[in-house]
Structure 1
Amino acid sequence: MERMVVIGGDAAGMSAASQARRLRGPGELEIVAFERSHFASYSACGIPYWVGGDVDRREQLVARSPQEHRSRGIDLRMRTEVVEIDVPGQRVRSRDLESGTEAWTGYDKLVIATGARPVRPRLPGIDAPGVHGVQTLDDGQALLDTLAGLEGRRAVVVGAGYIGVEMAEALLKRGLDVTVVNRGEQPMATLDPDMGRLVHEAMDGMGITTVNGAEVTKILTGPEVGASPVPGGPGGRVRAVATEDGEFPADVVVLGIGVEPETELARAAGLPLGTHGGLLTDLSMRVRGYEDVWAGGDCVEVLDLVSGRERHIPLGTHANKHGQIIGAGVGGGYATFPGVVGTAVSKVCDLEIARTGLLEKEARAVGLRFVTVTVESTSRAGYYPGAAPMTVKMLAERRTGRLLGVQIVGREGAGKRVDVAAVALTAGMTVEGMTALDLGYAPPFSPVWDPVLVAARKATAAVAQAG
């Protein structure tokens, strides 16, 4: 009987284990999975909404408990961390985090699903009490515990990407005074600066203070009650975030700088990594050059179908697809993951933010010549109650008119419109071809010309004018 070993018990790892189990019974395939945290198969994307109170209980974010996995014939070992991969020997060394006991486990098929870790810059005070990253349910619980005992009401979020703006909303909903310190020109570096400016203006209107162009230099601390009376003394809680231009008082700090692939194990084992630090795989999610090793989820790089280059895009949608494909391969079937177009959607309070395809700087980086257009429209027919404004920006290749990217910022009904553009990108459509798309129309849902199609019409004209 073969043994499948899975490193990582969240989306990619447990999807792979579950799919392999569906294809091969316990008598054909033994499955052992290692997870170092207290939780498995949970939605990390839901953590900001749990912290903000939209989700009542932590358990609502758990798709399947360890007991449920075990009942399906998967030996899931919680609070157990894999600390070494021996590829030539086809075995992994694990450590029980409660007892410290270590053991080797052999494998015939190995799945690496170690995920990503929050970017945590090496700054003075970064490990002080009251400074939190938010990547796992354990992280979310630690933040909630801090908030429950908080005496002050000042929160600083470092970073203004997806995690940063979502956590800013969560903290605002909990009644804190929120400042976002962002080193970029505008919030949301996943948008072009002109679209990021719209996010900045909206956040200001919500009462969130956003400070752009500010590089954090250190986290300032003060003494705990009964500790050293020296301000900033060792062991003190966070009291402020410092930049070159000033200090921002803080009773709690949340790091929303982003994440990077958790691939130190893979690196030490000599497995191939890409320019972003993620594992490199083929279309079937096998690690390149290794027949019996697969990888998926936030620890891998994926092919961008628009630029033709590898990217690191940590999203639960990709992770679950990777797991299904890996499980099929281990289970004796065959499936492939062709790549992505870089679709993402988020929100801060009632502002919806979406993008797919390439930004201007990304298109330039791969040598593409392009035109851009920006249109203002509404989510519904202008005369229908509840019609809300939205801005759509579209990039098209200058010579061919091929769609290259779309960004959307607006109120209710704006964000999910990006899916139309994602399908068009995947299909390799031109902006002129998009204008003929037969999209659904009724006044409660859209103007006669959907905002995405209005942008496509304007982009078609810009391509023709550019020659």
Structure 2
Amino acid sequence: MSERMVVIGGDAAGMSAASQARRLRQAEELEIVVFERGHFTSYSACGIPYWVGGDVDDRDDLIARTPEEHRARGIDLRLRTEVVEIDVPGRRVRARDLETGAQSWTGYDKLVIATGATPIRPPLPGIDAAGVHGVQTLDDGQALIDTLESIEGRRAVVVGAGYIGVEMAEALITRGYDVTMINRGAEPMATLDPDMGVLIRKAMEGMGIRVIGGTEVTAVRTDDAGRVRAVATADDEYPADVVVFGIGVRPATDLARAAGLPLGAYGGLLTDLAMRVRGHENIWAGGDCVEVLDLVSGSERHIPLGTHANKHGQIIGSGVGGDYATFPGVVGTAVSKVCDLEVARTGLREKEARAVGLQFVTVVIESTSRSGYFPGTSLMTVKMIAERRTGRLLGVQIVGREGAGKRIDIAAVALTTRMTVEQMVALDLGYAPPFSPVWDPVLVAARKAVAAVRKDCRG
């Protein structure tokens, strides 16, 4: 007898799950219905700032697989259709056609929740004014580009200095805008410790971006036509022709909450290792709407990244398709850039380590990307956090230029395997003058961390 798989959300996790399930089970065995409220599927949201900034020429370059391609593989994909209710006891969902308003129920044998995350929009006066944007979907990116191409003014304000905020500030200054960034924290990139964030601020200021730290936005000012004209704080007002909010996202779990499904401390769905929603054998969830196990701290965290979402989808599709796979957790690896400055982190920051009761030592080193005599060599800063007494690696942050960012992968592997900094020193990494000094910067930091752990033990 044929079963029906219903997927809510048609981006990374949802379509990966649907595609993997289709590979394992034919249409006569498994009907697959996907509801997606937007106009697009299977796209790279991470690439939107680079499309806005002009590094990516065309919106379609960000689309990995079109709706037509999914449908050709036997997936019933329904765009511009929003699921508004999940009836868990009745095993059905209620969906609304966003074009006509018509609503209907669809039953399921297997349900996949891949609703993603939604940008945080504080309830500020003027937040919904024309010219104020968030950047989460391709529709959001297109709306922002349409605004940029229609306005005459060249003043932009970016609110928030996380990954999206920093990348959007770069994109706007690349387009010739006068950019002001307003951030609640003292330094940009709250995913780094402040002593590393200051390196980002100096780089941004060197690009001509005005960085206002330790300040909260209180209102968006509008003109008589209802368009944005300025962003206000408690102490000042900053003129703006366009405003981009990038102050973070939250799991889009209102549907799940209303259905009584289990949520964690961050508001994300809680799943088992196979990505099934806890306590529900026939419901799976993945992507930015779930919380995942942090392998370093041992607690659940909300880490919205496309890498995780695609893996979740593969695991979910395998489970629905009758195969077996699990998602063991993450170590919190991320990499970004500000013009030619590369920024990377993995594991815990000092604040996070303290919050879970870990005691640690920290070291910060400055080294070079290549042998010092080789052309194109540049400096990079590496911060390493190791547990007291044991020397177990807890976290690494790297800021530098070409060749710095992807070095974080060394630390990510070390964290995943619970290596000590002493074990890291013995790693057999590749060496040649065009790629690295004899002692790679990560190993230089590990050597210094070993010395700090030993000194702490003697003390």
- Which TM-score applies when normalising by structure 1? 0.97
Q: Trace 1:106-125 onto structure 2 (pairs within 5 A).
A: 106-125=107-126
Q: Trace 1:222-233 onto structure 2 (pairs within 5 A).
A: 222-224=223-225
Q: 1:390 aligns with which of 380, 396, 399?
A: 380
Q: 2:228 aligns with which of 227, 238, 261?
A: 238
- Match of 2:310? 320
CA-to-aligned-CA distance 1:187-237 (integer Å, 9 cap, x gap): 00000000000111111111111000010000011122xxxxxxxxxxx11
In structure 2, distance between residues paired with 1:385 and 1:240: 46
Is the partner of 1:18 in helix, strand or coil?
A: helix
Cα deviation for residue 431 of structure 1 reads 0.1
In structure 2, distance between residues paired with 1:355 and 1:292: 36
2:19 maps to 1:18:
yes
- Return the letter of the residue paired with 2:414: A
- Match of 2:405? 415
- Which TM-score applies when normalising by structure 2? 0.99
How many residues end up aligned between the 2 structures? 456
- Match of 2:8? 7
- Match of 1:74? 75
In structure 1, distance between residues paired with 2:142 and 2:46: 14
- Return the letter of the residue paired with 2:246: G
- Match of 2:360? 370
- Match of 2:134? 133
Is the partner of 1:85 in helix, strand or coil?
A: strand
CA RMSD of aligned residues (A): 0.4
- Return the letter of the residue paired with 2:224: P
In structure 1, distance between residues paired with 2:181 and 2:370: 32
Is the partner of 2:176 in helix, strand or coil?
A: coil
- Match of 2:181? 180
Cα deviation for residue 245 of structure 1 reads 1.2
In structure 2, distance between residues paired with 1:223 and 1:39: 35
- Match of 2:346? 356
CA-to-aligned-CA distance 1:267-294 (integer Å, 9 cap, x gap): 0000000000000000000000000000
- Match of 2:214? 213
Q: Trace 1:25-424 onto structure 2 (pairs within 5 A).
A: 25-224=26-225, 236-424=226-414
- Return the letter of the residue paired with 1:184: G
- Return the letter of the residue paired with 1:175: G
Unmatched tracts of structure 2, length 5 or more: none
- Detail structure 1 runs of 4+ shifted over 6 Å in the superposition: none
CA-to-aligned-CA distance 1:42-101 (integer Å, 9 cap, x gap): 000000000000000000000001110000000000000000000000000000001111
- Return the letter of the residue paired with 2:436: S
In structure 2, distance between residues paired with 1:25 and 1:6: 17
In structure 2, distance between residues paired with 1:378 and 1:181: 32
- Match of 1:233? none
In structure 1, distance between residues paired with 2:430 and 2:371: 13
CA-to-aligned-CA distance 1:368-422 (integer Å, 9 cap, x gap): 0100000001111111111111000000001100000000001111110000000
In structure 2, distance between residues paired with 1:65 and 1:205: 40
- Return the letter of the residue paired with 2:389: R
- Return the letter of the residue paired with 1:393: K
In structure 1, distance between residues paired with 2:262 and 2:334: 27
Unmatched tracts of structure 1, length 5 or more: 225-235
Cα deviation for residue 263 of structure 1 reads 0.2
| % identity of equivalent residues | 80
Cα deviation for residue 185 of structure 1 reads 1.3
CA-to-aligned-CA distance 1:347-369 (integer Å, 9 cap, x gap): 11111100000000000000001
Is the partner of 1:12 in helix, strand or coil?
A: helix
Cα deviation for residue 150 of structure 1 reads 1.4
CA-to-aligned-CA distance 1:290-334 (integer Å, 9 cap, x gap): 000000000000000000000000000000000000000000011
In structure 2, distance between residues paired with 1:239 and 1:415: 37
In structure 2, distance between residues paired with 1:381 and 1:362: 34
2:457 maps to 1:456:
no
In structure 2, distance between residues paired with 1:169 and 1:413: 20
